[in-house]
């Protein structure tokens, strides 16, 4: 078995370009395209958000690829306006060469108590032994997945428009949210805050969450 760290890959975005495109769409409402200047998007977007005129944020989208645990996508796929492609535990057989013949589990780094962590680790080992044994006995991947725990590592691609990202990031970066989600989404929120301060600047997140737990944020320059 492998114990792995999570990461989040986000397409390289030009926040100013996104906001200017939203401004152009929004100005259709007032036929005020003539007022567009280098920085006019700032006041326009701030006013729209303050007044709840948020549908304009739906004109632009961002895609991310996340490597985290099954538990995190179980929660995030509840967001109905986002789109997902999720690694299938029905089709991915973790005893195959392509997975190194082993199951990967996301390191629950936030479990700091040594005894609790050791118990988790031993349980994961037992699960992998059981998975391989079931395969040897002729079980299908469908059958084997019955024993996979929330900690199982999986990749998923997630796309949402800016309005939905604002909603998701406001909901899913607070101290009430499971650490495996805060791990990946706080770094994403911080990136969005830098790129699009007029849209994401006011979102509060759990600032007490240990930055050592943050997942690595990878900027995908190819996307």
Residues that bind ligand FAD (CB under 6 A): 78-81, 164, 167, 171-172, 176-177
Nearer to ligand FAD, 164 or 198 (CB): 164
Q: Annotate 35-56 with DSSP letters as a single string.
A: G--SSHHHHHHHHHHHHT-GGG
As measured in angstroms, the least distance from the Cβ of 41 to ligand FAD is: 24
Do 183 and 215 contact (CB within 8 A), yes or no? yes
As measured in angstroms, the least distance from the Cβ of 213 to ligand FAD is: 18
Do 61 and 157 contact (CB within 8 A), yes or no? no
As measured in angstroms, the least distance from the Cβ of 168 to ligand FAD is: 6
Strand-by-strand arrangement of the 7-11 sheet:
83-86, 153-161, 61-69, 7-11, 216-220
Nearer to ligand FAD, 80 or 114 (CB): 80
As measured in angstroms, the least distance from the Cβ of 169 to ligand FAD is: 11
Q: Burial, 162: exposed, middle or buried (Cβ in 10 Å; 0-12, 13-18, 19+)?
A: buried
Nearer to ligand FAD, 25 or 82 (CB): 82
- Residues 49, 111: Cα–Cα separation, whole Å: 38
Nearer to ligand FAD, 81 or 96 (CB): 81
Nearer to ligand FAD, 31 or 176 (CB): 176
Nearer to ligand FAD, 58 or 87 (CB): 58
Joined together, the tokens standing for residue 124 give 């994961």
Q: Which residues contact 198 (CB under 8 A, 6 or more apart)?
A: 19, 41, 42, 45, 46, 49
As measured in angstroms, the least distance from the Cβ of 209 to ligand FAD is: 14
As measured in angstroms, the least distance from the Cβ of 212 to ligand FAD is: 23
Positive or negative: CA dihedral 12, 16, 17, 22: positive
């Amino acid at each position: 078995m492998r114990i792995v760290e999570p990461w989040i890959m986000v397409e390289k975005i030009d926040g100013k370009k996104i906001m200017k495109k939203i401004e152009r769409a929004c100005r259709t409402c007032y036929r005020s395209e003539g007022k567009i200047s280098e920085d006019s998007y700032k006041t326009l977007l701030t006013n729209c958000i303050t007044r709840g005129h948020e549908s304009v944020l739906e004109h632009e989208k961002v895609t991310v690829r996340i490597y985290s645990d099954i538990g995190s996508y179980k929660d995030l796929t509840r967001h109905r306006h986002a789109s997902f492609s999720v690694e299938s535990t029905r089709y991915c057989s973790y005893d195959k060469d392509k997975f190194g013949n082993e199951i990967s589990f996301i390191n629950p780094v936030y479990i700091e108590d040594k005894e609790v962590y050791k118990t988790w680790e031993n349980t994961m080992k037992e699960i992998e032994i059981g998975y391989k044994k079931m395969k040897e006995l002729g079980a299908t991947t469908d059958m084997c997945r019955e024993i996979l725990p929330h900690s199982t590592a999986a990749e998923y691609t997630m796309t949402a428009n800016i309005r939905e990202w604002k909603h998701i990031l406001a909901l899913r970066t607070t101290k009430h949210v499971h650490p495996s989600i805060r791990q990946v989404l706080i770094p994403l929120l911080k990136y969005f805050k830098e790129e699009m301060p007029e849209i994401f600047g006011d979102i509060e997140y759990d600032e007490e969450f240990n930055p050592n737990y943050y997942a690595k944020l990878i900027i995908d320059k190819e996307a």
